[in-house]
Amino acid sequence: TTPAPITAPLPTRSSTPRELRNVIGGEFVDGVGTFEKIDPVDGTLVAVVHEAGPREVDRAVAAARAALEGPWGRMPVAERARLLRRVADVVERRSEELVAAEVGDTGKPETLARDLDVARAAANFRSFADTASAAGLDSYLTELPDGRRALNYAVRAPLGVVAVIVPWNLPLLLLTWKLAPALASGNTVVVKPSEETPSSATLLAEILAEAGIPDGVVNVVHGFGPGSAGEHLTTHPGIDGVTFTGESSTGSAIMRAVAPRVRPVSFELGGKNPAIVFADADLEAAIAGLARSTYLNTGQVCLCTERIYVERAVFDEVANGLAAHARRLRLGRPEDPATTTGPLISAAHRDKVLSYYDLAIREGAELLAGGGVPTLGDGLDAGSWIEPTLWTGLDNANRTVREEIFGPAAVVMPFDTEEEAIALANDTDYGLAAVTWTTDLARGHRVAQRLRVGMSWVNTWYLRDLRSPFGGVGLSGIGREGGLHSLAFYTEPTNVCVQL
């Protein structure tokens, strides 16, 4: 049965706050209390959200378990893939509602939500429908010393009931990046969206029901992390694994939470991503690329560049060119097509980013662009706006260069040799993504391979093939997502060995 709509989802931003409930076993369920979601554009109320307590989380895990043991768990992969393609179709048909939900929560420009977040949500479902349909089994014909043979082959069962915990920066994109492979592999899930972005996950639950995903396969519980829905979920004995995207320190807390029951985790965590610009680069392309990799989504993408190493001969040209780009960005209302840059997600996050703006100056940075809070008028000054910022004058010894800021800000630093650039880029506890700008083909490959990261781009950034491995090393995560890598996490192989 298709659940009744949570509320009428809003096709445009509206002054009427939505009421968002937990979604458990196909029903909309009240919580133990409610919390408010504030619009970072202008400080108004977007939604009143029902917070799940231990009882609601327990019901959600039980609903997921029941669905796993029902027809879903035995459904042929071709049938699940057909349903996922239907989900993609409904995502596209209802894309403007999803855009409104995403924009209402994050304040990001509508064009960005439409072209990146919602487009990728549909692509995620189609990609994993294809990957799961095409995936084969391991099989080995084993030759024994005595001349006999054995056949080894591995069948794959779903991991089980999976806890899916996601952040606020690309809420729908990152949720569907986990949901699509989890469902393609036959799992059932309990989703805990970020408290900052409850809307698109709730709307997606409606879309999944409309597309025919059975009740209880996807459950959504709202709330915070510690002492709330996030912790209730990760400490629940009924979950079989956790897939998490968010801060490294939260990943560490989740590892501790699942340690007593030894559950598998898949972690996509923070970054402090370097870019390297060689003097032989196409500088115009490099500067435009750096502007994108530093400032897209107000710097709130885990892949965003925060450290820029530039060969000394072109240092001034690159630093000044990027600063000019930063000053040209247009902060404004999400529905204005001229807007390039939205606010930060919340007042609390702006406080954190501003603390780094202060720290950079105290550490001796020279400010090339931004550095503070803009005055925008037009009712926006109650929002969480911040200026796109660029510094020079710091090095790898400074905290500004070592700690993830997760805002629209980067430090430009000089280098003299290829070896030095690689060493500086690798001098970090993180290891998520890197970009190398050069027109020397051999150097591009050479440097890209030596950077200690999960994703190493050359002359581009955030160009994704959804079949390729995605993830990080060090503090940036555990495991890889993408194509067969995702399916490996969401399934448990059983090897069968037959003596022939």
Catalytic residues: 268, 302
User: In which element (H, E) is residue 319 found?
Assistant: helix 315-328
Beta carbon of residue 5, minimum distance to ligand NAD (angstroms, whole number): 24
Q: Does 388 bind ligand NAD (CB under 6 A)?
A: no
Residues in region 293-332 near ligand NAD by CB under 6 A: 302
CB of 57 or CB of 91, closer to ligand NAD: 57
Strand 366-369 with 389-392, pairing: antiparallel
**Stretch of 105-113, 117-125, 223-231, 419-427 contacting ligand NAD, by CB under 6 A:** 223-231
Structure tokens that stand for 91 in this block: 């995502």
Residues in region 434-463 near ligand NAD by CB under 6 A: none
CB of 242 or CB of 360, closer to ligand NAD: 242
CB of 398 or CB of 476, closer to ligand NAD: 476
Among 184, 202, 404, 456, binds ligand NAD (CB under 6 A): 404
Q: Does 224 bind ligand NAD (CB under 6 A)?
A: yes
Beta carbon of residue 193, minimum distance to ligand NAD (angstroms, whole number): 6
Q: Does 226 bind ligand NAD (CB under 6 A)?
A: yes
Considering just the CA atoms, what is the radius of gyration of the chain in Å?
23
Residues in region 232-251 near ligand NAD by CB under 6 A: 234, 245-247, 250
Secondary structure class of 295 (helix, strand, coil): helix
Secondary structure class of 463 (helix, strand, coil): coil
CB of 104 or CB of 332, closer to ligand NAD: 104
User: Cβ distance 176 to 92 under 8 Å?
Assistant: no
**Stretch of 29-37, 120-128, 148-156, 265-273 contacting ligand NAD, by CB under 6 A:** 265-273
What is the number of the residue whose Cβ is closest to ligand NAD?
A: 225
Beta carbon of residue 415, minimum distance to ligand NAD (angstroms, whole number): 25
Distance CA 459, CA 101 (A): 33
Beta carbon of residue 246, minimum distance to ligand NAD (angstroms, whole number): 3
Q: Does 128 bind ligand NAD (CB under 6 A)?
A: no
b/e per residue 437-464 (b: at least 16 CB within 10 A): bbeeeebbeebbebbbbbbbbbbebbee
Distance CA 448, CA 461 (A): 12
b/e per residue 290-318 (b: at least 16 CB within 10 A): bbbbbbbbbbbbbbbbbbbbbbeebbeeb
CB of 104 or CB of 407, closer to ligand NAD: 407
Question: How many binding residues for ligand NAD (CB under 6 A)?
Answer: 32
Beta carbon of residue 64, minimum distance to ligand NAD (angstroms, whole number): 17
Q: Provide the edge-to-edge strand list for the sheet that holds 27-29.
A: 27-29, 22-24, 218-220, 188-192, 161-165, 241-245, 265-268, 477-478
Sign of CA dihedral 61, 65, 70, 74: positive
Residues in region 154-193 near ligand NAD by CB under 6 A: 165-169, 174, 192
Beta carbon of residue 485, minimum distance to ligand NAD (angstroms, whole number): 13
Q: Which positions ≥6 away from 356 have C-beta within 8 Å?
A: 400, 403, 405, 407, 409
Among 131, 185, 187, 194, binds ligand NAD (CB under 6 A): 194
Among 186, 198, 225, 289, binds ligand NAD (CB under 6 A): 225
Among 31, 104, 299, 477, binds ligand NAD (CB under 6 A): 477
User: Cβ distance 456 to 434 under 8 Å?
Assistant: yes
CB atoms within 10 A of CB 135: 16
**Stretch of 8-16, 17-25, 269-277, 437-445 contacting ligand NAD, by CB under 6 A:** 269-277
Q: At what angle do helices 199-211 and 171-184 cross, to 10 degrees?
A: 40
DSSP per position, 17-51: -EEE-EEETTEEE--SEEEEEE-TTTS-EEEEEEE
Among 56, 195, 306, 387, binds ligand NAD (CB under 6 A): 195
Residues in region 419-438 near ligand NAD by CB under 6 A: 432
Among 118, 269, 365, 390, binds ligand NAD (CB under 6 A): 269
Beta carbon of residue 274, minimum distance to ligand NAD (angstroms, whole number): 14
CB atoms within 10 A of CB 19: 15
Beta carbon of residue 357, minimum distance to ligand NAD (angstroms, whole number): 18
Among 388, 472, 482, 483, binds ligand NAD (CB under 6 A): 472
Q: At what angle do helices 171-184 and 77-93 cross, to 10 degrees?
A: 160
Chain residues binding ligand NAD by CB under 6 A are: 165-169, 174, 192, 194-195, 224-226, 230-231, 234, 245-247, 250, 253-254, 268-271, 302, 404, 406, 432, 472, 476-477
